[in-house]
Structure 1
Amino acid sequence: MVKNLASIQPETQFTQPIALRFAKFAQSLHFEDIPASVRDRAKYLILDAVGIAFASRHYPFSGKILTGLLDAAGTGTASVIGFQEKLPLRDAVIMNGALIHGLDYDDTHLRSVVHPTASSLSTALGLSEQCGVDGSELLTTYVIAMESIIRIGMAAMGGLHKRGYHPTGVCAHFSSALAAGRLLGLDVKELASAQAFAGSTAAASMEFVEEGGWNKRLHPGWGGAAGITAAYLAKNGFVGPTWPYEGRYGLYKSHLHDDEEHVDYECLTAGLGDVWECLDTAVKPFPSCHFTHALADSALELKRSRSIELESIQKILVQMPEIAVNLIAEPSANKLKPASDYDAKFSAQFIVAACLHRGKFGLSELTDDVLSDEAILKLASKVEYEIDPQTGYPDYYSGGVIITTKDGIEHVHYERVNRGAGERALSEAEISSKFFDNALLEIPRDRAESIRDVVLELDKKPAREFASNLTSA
């Protein structure tokens, strides 16, 4: 692992700036260079995201964001997934990013702790539609954004979360600048400058976890809009600094401070174009923070396999990676009685209790009547946590549940690999099933089937036709 110590100037450690290496990748990648397995995986990740976007239309936050954006800048020409209204380009990117990410049901790359598709698709979709490219170029741009956002997140090695930053929101600025620059035909130097501008705007606070605020929903699309702005500025001659990642005031030093010595700079571009990180992107089986998934499956397995009367439960102990504690277990007062559906998505206590009480955890477990169910809240009050001594983090988000009944018997289940990740990745059939479950909340079956077919054939159609097919028009 290459470490950039604070006392050493970047040019003494790196023969070529990381931004320049990313720029060369973004400019030179051809559709034919992408292995068929990566293209196919990308299409199913996009299918998952589109289904979630349609489901988000079912919830109040989507209408409030749309109304706010229309109030600020009016209508435009860029398509919004699931809506008839069109918005100005950057507002459409913000909106689509929020629709994909707003239910916290979108994909995650575990080692980077980023949700890569939300910003990658919203940026590639919006600008591909405006530029009038074909679907294969849209897909290529999406893959460029995916590979870069994942690697930028991986290099931080969990440090962004520790410092109170949402990695998706931070890293999306850079990857979106690369995607936008690719579509605008920037040269290598301009692509490098675009990343540098994005570095000046890359911030995304985790304060939302304290009281269930909605701002996290905006982070991916906001990064996308910033990246597009950066690319247009670079296209028109605006010049940025050379070392936006590894420089004295670059991303990792400015955001991580003392933790910067743990940054893995080598992974940013090692194997770029040969090793495809998007293949390791996990599709979520539950609409909640990914760190809760092993706990949910553990609770569901105990309910399925053991005859445990809920009234007989004395204590529930959940095991999680240390990095997850301040996301899904603390502050305990907020987690024991979530103030909103979004709060509940980040509560290990509530999710485990809901799984034990209802035998499932989906969008229907996040309604107001379930959030206020006294039986679930009483069960949640019995949930305690500990740091998982055998965690597979960062490769997997392992976790387990130990239920102790009043007779002193312990019932244990542990998930070494969380479902959806690694060797337990959801199959194409399972992703399709999830797509239909989400899309059918808002559209009829025949329309959903048509959209599925359009997504899986997106590289064979013009981007404008693809974008138009995703709207409600």
Structure 2
Amino acid sequence: MTLTFSHFAANLTCDDLPAPVLQVLRRSFLDTMGVAAVASTTSMASIARNGARALFGPGTAGGSRILMNGAMVSPAGAAMAGAFTIDSIDAHDGTSPCKGHAGSAVFPALLALADASKDMDGHEFATLLAIAYEVSYRSGLAQHATCADYHTSGAWTAVGVATACARALGCTQEQIRHAAGIGEYHGPRSQMMRCIDHPTMLRDGVGWGAPAGVTAAYLAQQGFTGAPALTCEDAQEFWHDLGDTWRLVEDTHYKPYPCCRWAHPAMDAAQDLMREHALHHSQIKSVEIRTFHNATRLAGHRPMTPDEFAYSIAFPVATMIVRGEVGVPELAEETLKDTDILRISCATELIDDEHFTKISDGKRWAQVSFRLGDGRHMTSTPRTPRGDTDLPLSETEISEKFRLFADPVLGSARAREIENLCAEFEGLNKDGLNHLLDLCLSAPHPS
């Protein structure tokens, strides 16, 4: 069966969603809200909220609350602030084949649309999520195959968000085509490696990809034209199995650590070596990380900001060696001054491995070696990171990660209620979904 993306988006129902699709959506809902909770405390999130409140007041489209804050702005403003918020902590779901992330754009955009509407139930929200994820992933694959530069996730999530939001606004199939085209054309074709080489709050581009998609849908609803979206209509090899195969099931991964995915296989390898040999960090004299080319550009031996920490590899690996984990406490700026971590980070060499570069197509490979103070040398086996579909995080691990991030910010009672509702969100009636929106969008008041 071959479907056009616009027919898929216009006609999909919740009954069409296979059980594995719903499972991924539930996991991503919970995982993203946990990240959003802890991310709402960052300075980057605060700046984004202030910008949205200054520039995106509610209009005739209605008002939407900013994620984990409650301030009322326009749907585009809520999408922008929410996407920047989630993106400020690099722990949200992703897709290795697209080298990026969809949930950080999709959830704040669709939560904003649902909040403005107040008339959506769980069935429709699940359908919109599935459309946004699937179109985003396939658009991202097409873009990476047809464009020379490596663009941020904002470039292709703008297409998926536009498509799903146009469906949410009741657009016709032809208007959905135009929405995708507008989102693709006006989406941020920002260069990902710029932020790798010079880490700042620009991050993964979703802070503009999400509002670009929302805006595109509203424009298309009013008759603005923009079709075709080339990544959806001129690259059919990425769309021929739409409706039969679900890329969101095949490709979605979850992060155990709040930093760039490219650092994760080396972090896992370092953790394995420390445990297998019962080592203490004081025994480590130097570290060698062999990995694929782009990962070596993460560098980050002495990160000075949370952004530099997020896009580094030497420092997170050293943090794993010293602390045994990289979790919420390691997000504190004091961690950047930890002398034990800095010693190992500065004694870490990154090796650009041609073989790992070749095989890191849709996967991320690394191998770690330690040289100890007593002269011993030990090397891990090459590995890919935990959280990929072949090494999935368990439901318990997803839950523990959510509670680790959400409980200190939201309070355990509110976090528990969000977790329970995310586990069955597609079955919620309108009142139930609006209650879940209240829990996710209101300002934190931890007990």
TM-score by length of 1: 0.85
Residue 380 (structure 1) aligned with residue 348 (structure 2) = no
Shift of 1:37: 2.0
Shift of 1:135: 1.6
Counterpart secondary structure, 1:441: helix
- The partner residue of 1:181 within 159, 166, 171 is 166
Could you tell which deviates more after superposition, 435-444 or 381-390? 381-390
CA distance in 2 between counterparts of 1:270 and 1:28 reads 17
Q: How many residues align?
A: 430
Residue 465 (structure 1) aligned with residue 435 (structure 2) = yes
- The partner residue of 2:67 within 52, 75, 81 is 81
Query: Which residue number corresponds to residue 53 of structure 2?
Result: 70
CA distance in 2 between counterparts of 1:121 and 1:440 reads 20
Is contact 1:123–1:179 with CA below 8 Å preserved after alignment?
no
Residue 235 (structure 1) aligned with residue 221 (structure 2) = yes
Judged with a 3 Å threshold, the aligned counterparts in structure 2 of structure 1 residues 246 and 152 are, in CA distance, closer, same or farther, namely closer
Shift of 1:408: 4.2
Residue 341 (structure 1) aligned with residue 306 (structure 2) = yes
CA distance in 1 between counterparts of 2:25 and 2:173 reads 25
Query: Which residue number corresponds to residue 293 of structure 2?
Result: 322
Q: Which runs of structure 1 show a deviation greater than 6 angstroms over 4 or more consecutive aligned residues?
A: none
Is contact 1:104–1:345 with CA below 8 Å preserved after alignment?
yes
CA distance in 1 between counterparts of 2:411 and 2:232 reads 50
Shift of 1:289: 0.3
CA distance in 2 between counterparts of 1:361 and 1:414 reads 21
CA distance in 2 between counterparts of 1:180 and 1:100 reads 19
Judged with a 3 Å threshold, the aligned counterparts in structure 2 of structure 1 residues 382 and 141 are, in CA distance, closer, same or farther, namely same
Judged with a 3 Å threshold, the aligned counterparts in structure 2 of structure 1 residues 310 and 465 are, in CA distance, closer, same or farther, namely closer
Residue 43 (structure 1) aligned with residue 26 (structure 2) = yes
Identity %: 26
Q: Which letter does structure 1 place at the counterpart of 2:84? A: A
CA distance in 2 between counterparts of 1:467 and 1:399 reads 40
Counterpart secondary structure, 1:442: helix
Residue 116 (structure 1) aligned with residue 140 (structure 2) = no
Could you tell which deviates more after superposition, 456-465 or 181-190? 456-465
- The partner residue of 2:252 within 261, 281, 287 is 281
1:278-305 CA-to-partner distances (Å, cap 9, x unmatched) read 1230110000000111111111111222
Is contact 1:314–1:405 with CA below 8 Å preserved after alignment?
yes
Query: Which residue number corresponds to residue 147 of structure 1?
Result: 134
Is contact 1:321–1:393 with CA below 8 Å preserved after alignment?
yes
Residue 27 (structure 1) aligned with residue 10 (structure 2) = yes
- The partner residue of 2:333 within 368, 375, 382 is 368
Counterpart secondary structure, 2:350: strand
Q: Which letter does structure 2 place at the counterpart of 1:191? A: I
Is contact 1:79–1:471 with CA below 8 Å preserved after alignment?
yes
Counterpart secondary structure, 1:404: strand
CA distance in 2 between counterparts of 1:238 and 1:189 reads 11
Q: Which letter does structure 2 place at the counterpart of 1:142? A: L
1:294-323 CA-to-partner distances (Å, cap 9, x unmatched) read 111111111222244545544311122223
1:338-361 CA-to-partner distances (Å, cap 9, x unmatched) read 120121121111111111122211
CA distance in 2 between counterparts of 1:415 and 1:365 reads 26
Shift of 1:468: 1.9
TM-score by length of 2: 0.89
Judged with a 3 Å threshold, the aligned counterparts in structure 2 of structure 1 residues 116 and 444 are, in CA distance, closer, same or farther, namely same
Shift of 1:128: 2.5
Query: Which residue number corresponds to residue 112 of structure 2?
Result: 126
Q: Any residues of structure 2 matched to 1:287-436 within 5 Å, and which?
A: 287-308=258-279, 310-326=281-297, 328-329=298-299, 335-388=300-353, 389-390=355-356, 392-436=359-403
- The partner residue of 1:196 within 166, 181, 189 is 181
Shift of 1:397: 1.4
Is contact 2:285–2:372 with CA below 8 Å preserved after alignment?
yes
Is contact 1:117–1:146 with CA below 8 Å preserved after alignment?
yes
Is contact 2:35–2:402 with CA below 8 Å preserved after alignment?
yes
Aligned-residue Cα RMSD (Å) equals 2.3
Q: Which letter does structure 2 place at the counterpart of 1:382? A: A
Is contact 2:161–2:213 with CA below 8 Å preserved after alignment?
yes
Q: Which letter does structure 2 place at the counterpart of 1:190? A: Q
Q: Which letter does structure 2 place at the counterpart of 1:378? A: R
Is contact 1:317–1:401 with CA below 8 Å preserved after alignment?
yes
Shift of 1:368: 2.1
Query: Which residue number corresponds to residue 262 of structure 1?
Result: none
CA distance in 1 between counterparts of 2:18 and 2:227 reads 34
Shift of 1:209: 3.0
Judged with a 3 Å threshold, the aligned counterparts in structure 2 of structure 1 residues 111 and 83 are, in CA distance, closer, same or farther, namely same
Judged with a 3 Å threshold, the aligned counterparts in structure 2 of structure 1 residues 227 and 46 are, in CA distance, closer, same or farther, namely same
1:104-162 CA-to-partner distances (Å, cap 9, x unmatched) read 110111111121111111222211232322121111101101011111222344786x7
CA distance in 1 between counterparts of 2:273 and 2:280 reads 11
Could you tell which deviates more after superposition, 306-315 or 111-120? 306-315
Query: Which residue number corresponds to residue 105 of structure 1?
Result: 91
CA distance in 2 between counterparts of 1:374 and 1:357 reads 10
Residue 225 (structure 1) aligned with residue 219 (structure 2) = no
1:215-260 CA-to-partner distances (Å, cap 9, x unmatched) read 226x22421211122122222222224353389xx8xxxxxxxxxx
Could you tell which deviates more after superposition, 293-302 or 391-400? 391-400
Unaligned runs of 5+ in 2: none
CA distance in 2 between counterparts of 1:243 and 1:93 reads 21
Unaligned runs of 5+ in 1: 1-15, 251-264, 330-334
Residue 244 (structure 1) aligned with residue 230 (structure 2) = yes
Counterpart secondary structure, 2:380: strand
CA distance in 2 between counterparts of 1:67 and 1:82 reads 14
Counterpart secondary structure, 1:300: helix
CA distance in 1 between counterparts of 2:57 and 2:383 reads 49
Counterpart secondary structure, 2:65: coil
Q: Which letter does structure 1 place at the counterpart of 2:274? A: K
CA distance in 2 between counterparts of 1:322 and 1:461 reads 48
